[in-house]
Every structure is written in C-alpha cells, then in structure tokens.
Amino acid sequence: MAGKFELKKSKNDKFYFSLLAGNGQTILSSEMYEAKASAVNGIESVKKNAADAGRFDRLDGKDGSPYFTLKASNGQVIGQSQMYSSAASRDAGIESVMANAPGAAVDDQTA
C-alpha cells in the first residue's frame, strides 16, 4: 500500500495534514493553516521538497529524542516528524518520507 496525505480540519477551524506511510503510520505532520488552500500548498511543497535529502534537518528534542523537520527552499519548516527512540529510526523515517511523499495521493477529509 502506498503512502498518502490526509488533509483535515481541526476543532478550531484550522487546516492541517499528515503524511502516512503505506502501513498507516504518521511519518510527517504539518503546522496549522488558516486556509485550506494554504494546507494544500503545503502538501505540494512537501511532495516537491521530500526528494531532496538536503531539505531534512536531523534534530534532537529536549529529552534527547531524535526527530526531523522538512524545510522548503525558502527555509520554512513545512513538516515535522514524531519523536523517535534512536537516530537510526529517525533516519528510516526520513527515507520513508522521501519514498512516500512525491507520489502520495491526497485524502481530503475536510468536506
């Protein structure tokens, strides 16, 4: 099963998306957007930038847990991962985003 983007609307009427791997696990989450069109543009930006390994920042949380962010060409963060238990797991998450995002379908759950 291929990965997909899920586009959703929050309880406070903001829009966000998640990239799910083929197994249904969330591998990247967006910020909250005021407009649906902005969230859709964010998805397109993830699709475009996920193929470039240089757009990923490997980081560590306050508790030392590894995670990553994906940045657009302008340097803005367009997605963030979950916290991982190891750097190797984080790197596998990056590889999963790189493999899944470019061709992922969009499941619009806002309607």
pLDDT digits (tens, 9 = 90+) for 76-95: 999 999 999 999 999 999 99
What value does the mean pLDDT take over residues 12-31? 95
**Separation CA 80–CA 41 (nearest Å):** 16
What value does the mean pLDDT take over residues 31-58? 97
- Residue 18 neighbours by CB under 8 Å, 6+ apart: 5, 6, 8, 26, 28, 29, 30
- Where does the pLDDT of residue 2 fall: very low under 50, low under 70, confident under 90, or very high at 90 and above? confident
> Looking at the predicted structure, is the pLDDT value of residue 12 above 90?
yes
CA-atom Rg of the chain in angstroms: 13
> Looking at the predicted structure, is the pLDDT value of residue 1 above 70?
no
87 C-beta neighbours (distance < 10 Å), count: 11
HSE-up (13 A, CA, CB side) for residue 96: 23
